[in-house]
Amino acid sequence: MQNAKLKCGLIETNQGFYNDTISKDAYVWYEENWKHDEYEHIHERAQLTYVEEGYQYLHIQQKIYLVPKNHVIWIPSGVKHRTTSDARSVNLMVILFKKLLPSDFFKEVHVFAAPPVLKEMLLYASKWNKLDTEDQEQIVFLKALLNSLPNFCNESRFLEIPVPEDHRLIPVCDYINSHYQESFNVSDMADLAKMSVRSLQRIFKEQTGITLQKYGQLIRILKSVELIDTRQYTLSEIAFKIGYKSLSAFTSSYASIMKEAPKAKKDIIFSLH
């Protein structure tokens, strides 16, 4: 950012708190090679973020949301959040909205793949990037985009990483996050949590909504998203790096989580002799 205090058009008066001096109902901010502070922040405007390149993690209310390339995340007004990413580069658009329709949709966090028509609308909206002024076309267009979001949304709950509130489960999650390449033993995880296997399985499911095994699978697949983004590895290499014994097992697991087949980005270099 050119001004360290100016972020997405908002002025950070104190760390994590923003003063909204924008007169427009909707404000567009597009930036390449995005570098965002990783501390928690809050603002009164609702936020739509579209990841054009790379990926981001959004940490919101005991959950971590993965927002891959060509996905959007809707963050309601007044919800604390922070971002992290180890992507090579992150290109994204943020649209901040002041006025919303009285719909329950806008009160919840949503992550979903941007359908082609939404991507085209976002591309068109970039013409108003960082503009303080507005005209009638902009007002009508961005309102139409906003009002269409509930219809575009196809909930991607598979992109949520639940964070348990029970402190006894944190060492278990930390271990799985650090040793995702390995097959873990539930008895060992119970020892980490200082509870019985039965209690661990029951409490973990109650706290996160998924089983330990599903959590391990989810972490592996999210790590594969990061590796794919580096463009350094083939799918087979990625499969073995995250602990799968075959490409087919990885592909099947990836598809069950991400709802689409993995696509390698590694450049193929042909040598002519």
Q: What is the pLDDT along the chain (273 residues), one digit of tens a residue?
A: 344 455 555 665 665 556 666 778 899 999 888 776 677 888 888 999 999 988 888 999 888 898 888 889 999 998 988 888 888 888 999 999 998 888 999 999 999 888 899 999 999 999 999 888 889 999 999 999 999 999 998 766 667 888 898 999 999 999 998 999 999 999 999 999 999 999 999 999 999 999 999 999 999 998 998 899 888 899 999 999 999 999 999 999 999 888 889 987 654 333 333
pLDDT of residue 4: 44
User: Do 149 and 199 have their domain in common?
Assistant: no
User: Do 35 and 152 have their domain in common?
Assistant: yes
DSSP state of 61: T
- β-bridge pairing 10-14 and 6-7: antiparallel
* pTM of the predicted model as reported, rounded to 2 decimal places: 0.76
Cβ neighbours for 92, distance < 8 A, ≥ 6 positions apart: 30, 31, 34, 49, 50, 51, 52, 53, 54, 56
- β-bridge pairing 56-60 and 82-84: antiparallel
Could you tell me the CATH number of the domain that includes residue 250?
A: 1.10.10.60
CB atoms within 10 A of CB 57: 20
Domains of the chain: total: 2
CB atoms within 10 A of CB 216: 20
pLDDT of residue 162: 85
User: Do 143 and 182 have their domain in common?
Assistant: no
User: Do 109 and 127 have their domain in common?
Assistant: yes
**Separation CA 1–CA 199 (nearest Å):** 49
Residue 213 parent element (H or E) = helix 212-230
User: Do 19 and 147 have their domain in common?
Assistant: yes
Domain membership of residue 123 (yes or no) is yes
- Domain span at residue 100? 6-159
CA distances from 108 to 111, 119, 148, 153 (A): 10, 21, 16, 12
User: Do 85 and 217 have their domain in common?
Assistant: no
Question: Which of 103, 126, 159 is the last residue in one of the domains?
Answer: 159
Cβ–Cβ < 8 Å for 28, 93: yes
DSSP state of 159: G
User: Do 174 and 143 have their domain in common?
Assistant: no
pLDDT of residue 10: 60
Domain membership of residue 271 (yes or no) is no
Could you tell me the CATH number of the domain that includes residue 14?
A: 2.60.120.280
pLDDT of residue 190: 96
